[in-house]
Amino acid sequence: MKVFELKGSLRTDLGKKATKALRKAEMVPCEVYGGGDNIHFAVDKKILEKLLFTQEVYVINADIEGKKFSCVLSEVQYHPVNDRALHADFYQVFEDKAFEVELPILVEGLAKGIAAGGKLAVISRKLKVRGAMADLPENLVIKVADLGLGKTIQVGDLTYKNIELLNSKNTVVVQVKLTRAARAAAMAAK
């Protein structure tokens, strides 16, 4: 997995007033949990946006005033009107312990159904997985070359080494949809 360097400053005041002042100063309040005591800190809004507004998934090397640890982004709360990040939660990860994270999928190949007039539709852009940090790839590769017209690939059809898929087995990931033109051509052929 890719690594993102994040520097922050510890927060001692945790109330509404302090949080409002942080946001006014273009900072985002954050919290790290999963490694004993929770750590409350703040990061620059612009630096956090580089992490949030990307399709990539990162292991974050956080440096909070000299205290260093690895974590992954767990949850972000956004403002309902302007989509600005209000708060971010991080989960501390360790090399030897498995953890859960959502990984993006990468579709490889040209499906047979596309040549027959279908359209490839990616239904699930990310899948939730559990695994150790060393076993997690940057993305989950799905080969669609054998996918015919009207066929789907579900989570239950996928397997990866040392990674457990946590989504429901019947969740559709990729499918080749029948287009109107293909449907009309099939009706004309009858």
**CATH code assigned at 108:** 2.170.120.20
E strand map for 93-159: 99-108, 118-122, 126-131, 140-143, 152-154
Cα–Cα dist 132/8, whole Å:
26
Is residue 181 predicted with pLDDT exceeding 80? Answer: no
Domain with 62, as residue range(s), is 2-93
Amino acid identity, position 185 = A
Quick: pLDDT tens for 74-112: 888 888 888 888 888 888 888 888 888 888 899 888 888
Share of the chain above pLDDT 90, in %: 2
Quick: pLDDT tens for 103-155: 889 988 888 888 877 888 888 888 999 988 888 888 889 998 888 888 888 98
Q: For the whole model, what pTM was predicted? A: 0.75
Report the mean per-residue pLDDT for the chain: 85
Is residue 187 predicted with pLDDT exceeding 80? Answer: no
Is the domain of 75 the same as that of 113? no
Is the domain of 62 the same as that of 110? no
